[in-house]
Amino acid sequence: MKPMTPMKPLEPLEPMKPMEPMRPMDPPAQWWPDGLGHPAATGSQNDLRYAYFPDSRRLAVQTRGTTKLYDTADHRISGVSQRRQNNDGGATFTSQSGDVRLEDLTVLD
């Protein structure tokens, strides 16, 4: 049997360097028309994204790279769901009055 070589003692570890402060994330790029301000609610699902502006009663919706602006009338939008793909793929928004279909809102130019 071969004699064991003595192990050298462990050397002390260097202290950890302090972490650099984390940089805040950049806000997402604005994709809705100018002049609406900051949205109260935003979201996305599949190829649809929306931003709701209660002060101006506007809903910006972007699908397939095209953005449309809608008048929400008295609806206060709080969420979205997309109908199944085997239907027309349209969106239904949740408001204080219940569900409202996107095609039931007035499109603005």
At 57 the pLDDT is 94
At 91 the pLDDT is 84
Q: Judge whether 54 lies within some domain.
A: yes
At 82 the pLDDT is 66
Q: Judge whether 26 lies within some domain.
A: no
Q: Judge whether 90 lies within some domain.
A: yes
Pairwise CA distance, residues 25 & 91, whole Å: 29
Order of all β-strands in the sheet with 91-95: 79-82, 91-95, 98-101
The pTM (predicted TM-score) of the whole model is 0.69
Q: How many domains does the chain have?
A: 1
Q: Judge whether 62 lies within some domain.
A: yes
Q: Judge whether 50 lies within some domain.
A: yes
* In the block, residue with structure tokens 């499109």: 107
What are the backbone angles phi and psi of residue 46, rounded to the nearest 5°?
55, -120
Q: Judge whether 32 lies within some domain.
A: no
For the chain, list residues with pLDDT below 50. Answer: 85-88
- Its domain, for residue 53, covers 41-108
Q: Judge whether 34 lies within some domain.
A: no
Do residues 103 and 91 lie in contact, with contact meaning Cβ atoms separated by under 8 Å? Answer: no
Q: Judge whether 36 lies within some domain.
A: no
At 25 the pLDDT is 82
At 66 the pLDDT is 92
